[in-house]
Amino acid sequence: MRPRIPARLLLVGVLAALALGLPRDATAADWCAGGVCQEWVARYDGPASGSDRASALAVDGSGNVYVTGGSQGSVSDGYATIKYGSDGNQHWVARYEVDGRASALAVDGSGNVYVTGSSGGSGTGSDYATIKYDSDGNQQWVARYDGPASGNDSPSALALDGSGNVYVTGSSGGSGTGSDYATIKYDNGGNQQWLARYNGPANSSDWSSALAVDGSGNVYATGYSGGSGTGSDYATIKYDADGNQQWVARYNGPASSSDWAFALAVDGSGRVYVTGASYGIGADEDYATIKYGSGGNQQWVARYDMRAGYQEWDIASALAVDGWGNVYVTGASHGYAGTHMDYATIKYDSDGNQQWLARYNGPAGLDDDASALALDGSGNVYVTGTSVTRLGEDYPPVHSDYATIKYDSDGDEQWVARYDGPASDDDYDYDVASALAVDGSGNVYVTGESVSNTAKDYATIKYSQYASDVDGDGVPDAVDNCPLVPNADQLNSDGQRRPNGSAIPGEWASNPAQDKLGDACDADNDNDGLPDSQEFDDECPYRLVADSDGDTVLDGYEVSVAEDPCNPTSKPVCTDPTDRDGDGFKDCVEHSGYNTCAFAGDTFPGYKTCATSPDSDVDSCADWIEIVDVNGDRVANILDVQWVAKRVFDVVGPSDSDVIFDLDKNGAINILDIQVEVKNSSLLRPHSKCPPEG
């Protein structure tokens, strides 16, 4: 007897998906939003216009998409396997109408397609039926398996190796043993190479749910198996390439009750990862994710219970492992504060430590159940499943949508794409996503079942991705320093560039207050504590010892003599030939009212990068900074002006600050006001000696 499983497995055939704020009945490239585009939706209505439910999906290297599942036919229910081109056009449909439903699919490098599922036999109950199609959809062979009880035999998973051998696993009625794992290897011609059955210690129900094959042809299967006084346990098995059992690793959770494994993965070193649901102490099911070494020894167990001690479900249904040994799981988890079931996606590091948890509660705050997960080469995580939108009064009891989500490698949600099929009957409107794949270009594919106005159809969707650019300035939001304001030039005066776009040497490192906001959306471009509106020019905030307009005259000096620091044609005439540091620039250019390394052998403009920056008191802070840094915070900025104003004019509030702070009476409140009271005054911070003044 199969266990009680909530969410996805109970809601199959009952749930659906909504394109929130986007077109509903999408059959072509309908929309792009927030970094994702729906390229196409391909629907398949079988010959009986009845119930068609896709269960598995694969993508080949050319972007062709393959789906399979169960479809109501003109003679009987059967498999319906479809190939779509990368543009969503149907290339072929291959039907196998022998009273059954396909559950798993794989594609090899030559475009051959392999499908397995359960199929009614002649006096044999239901059998495994595994089929190979060539790239044009022509059936090459069918391999059927009837277990020893001639009862119910139902495969759940299929895998291929590099030699074209085919592996299937599932549950098969035994002779006096209840149901057993039954794992089979076929060669590329469909000939059975070996059969391995597993009957657990309770001699009762054993159900294999997932399968993987490593590069050496070793085969791994997991599922759940009746234990001896322990309820059902995870049972994970390794077979060698000849079908000989190498080890069995069983896991009995802390409650010694029901434990069901649903997903499995193997890394390049033969380490095995499984996840599923496991009863905890005083609680219902928890996620239980396990890592085994290549010899079957348990490395760690990571359990997840949303609210410990509560009788609530947390059931993991899908798993993946990346090249660094990080483990990702997803499924359905009971939320709190009225959110019902939510997607719960978790990343563990290679030692089983939780790195992040991302939960998704759909817009209706009802049940959301993730069913599939995939990774891309950049560490992004994709999940899909079913999100309930409304409870119904009649059958079916809910209305739901596909909900597909991308998370980045830190678990931050990047986008959500929802799909609501074309059904117009409010009492019969649901869509259930069951499978997902991501190709090498980052395209995302989802399939499942979707209600139309006449029946349940396969609904397969392709999403493409783009760098979100909300303001349309051609700069992706992820790197745009003003993502909501168009600024293609990305100018950032308090960052790495001058207003004219040229780089300011050392500016990033020398300005720790840099806020990474572009000029277009930064109210204080020079980060001196004053709004741009109070500066020389709010479109050209300047820095005292930079040269914003590139005219070889420092901004501070230009402002001090009423010239425009952002206009290269507005350049003061400097007649004094004195050049005490001998760097080729006159002191009247380098010296804007106080020493800016004009005598230190600097290379123009010398902003905090003087070649021999004088440091008379040897405190790693150049003299010129300390002379201006009167408040001692090692930054020369408007706060120093305030410091001077408060001490000289006893300013204690902002009411008269705009007048008082303009100490040099030039109409601008800026760092130059310091020189009025600081230069050669008792306010100078003490030094063993100070740089000479001219």
Selected residue with higher pLDDT from 684 and 276: 276
The 10 Å CB-count burial string (b at 16+, else e) for 201-219 is ebebbbbbbbbbbbeebbb
CA-based angle 673:674:678, to the nearest 5?
140
Ramachandran class of 105: left when φ > 0, alpha when ψ lies in -120 to 50, beta otherwise: beta
> What is the rounded distance in angstroms from the CA atom of residue 684 to the CA atom of residue 694?
17
> What pLDDT is attached to residue 90?
98
Half-sphere exposure of 655 (CA within 13 A, CB side): 3
Closest by CA to 378, choosing from 330, 410, 355, 331, is: 410
Section 558-579 average pLDDT:
70
Expressed in angstroms, the distance from the first to the final Cα of the chain is: 96
SS3 265: strand
Lowest mean pLDDT among 234-243, 302-311, 459-468: 302-311
Token pair, residue 231, equals 């309820």
pLDDT > 70 fraction of the chain, expressed in percent and rounded: 66
Strand partners, 690: none
Which one-letter DSSP state was computed for residue 399? E
Residue 366 CB partners (closer than 8 Å, separation 6+): 340, 387, 388, 389, 390, 391, 398
The domain limits of the chain are: 8-465
Query: By CB neighbour count within 10 A (0-12 exposed, 13-18 middle, 19+ buried), where does 141 fall?
Result: middle
**Three-class SS state of 688:** coil
Omega of the bond prior to 605 within 30 degrees of 0, cis? yes
pLDDT by residue (tens digit) across 367-410? Answer: 899 999 999 999 999 999 999 988 765 545 568 899 999 999 99
Instruction: For the chain, give the longest Cα–Cα distance.
Output: 110
Q: Which of these, 509, 532, 511, lies nearest to 520 by C-alpha position?
A: 532
pLDDT band with cut points at 50, 70 and 90 for residue 56: very high
DSSP symbol at 693:
P
CA atoms within 13 A on the CB side of 678: 29
What is the per-residue pLDDT for 237? Answer: 98
pLDDT at 49 over 60: yes
Decide if pLDDT at 543 tops 60.
no
Q: Specify the higher pLDDT residue, 491 or 36.
A: 36
Which of left, alpha, beta for 164 (phi over 0: left; psi -120 to 50: alpha)?
A: left
- Strand locations in 312-430 (E): 314-321, 327-334, 341-348, 354-360, 368-375, 381-391, 398-407, 413-419
Encoded tokens for 306: 């949303």
8-465: which CATH topology?
Methylamine Dehydrogenase; Chain H (2.130.10)
- pLDDT tens across 396-405, in order? 556 889 999 9
Q: What is the DSSP string of 328-360?
A: EEEEEEE-STT--EEEEEEEE-TTS-EEEEEEE
pTM (predicted TM-score): 0.68
Residues 301-360 have pLDDT tens digits of 999 997 765 557 899 999 999 999 999 999 999 877 667 889 999 999 999 999 999 999
Tokens of 410: 């830190």
Reported as a pLDDT band with limits 50, 70 and 90, residue 244 is very high
Backbone angles phi, psi at 117, to 5 degrees: 180, -170
In what order do the strands lie in the sheet containing 314-321?
A: 314-321, 327-334, 341-348, 354-360
State the virtual CA torsion across 532, 537, 543, 548 in degrees, nearest 10.
140
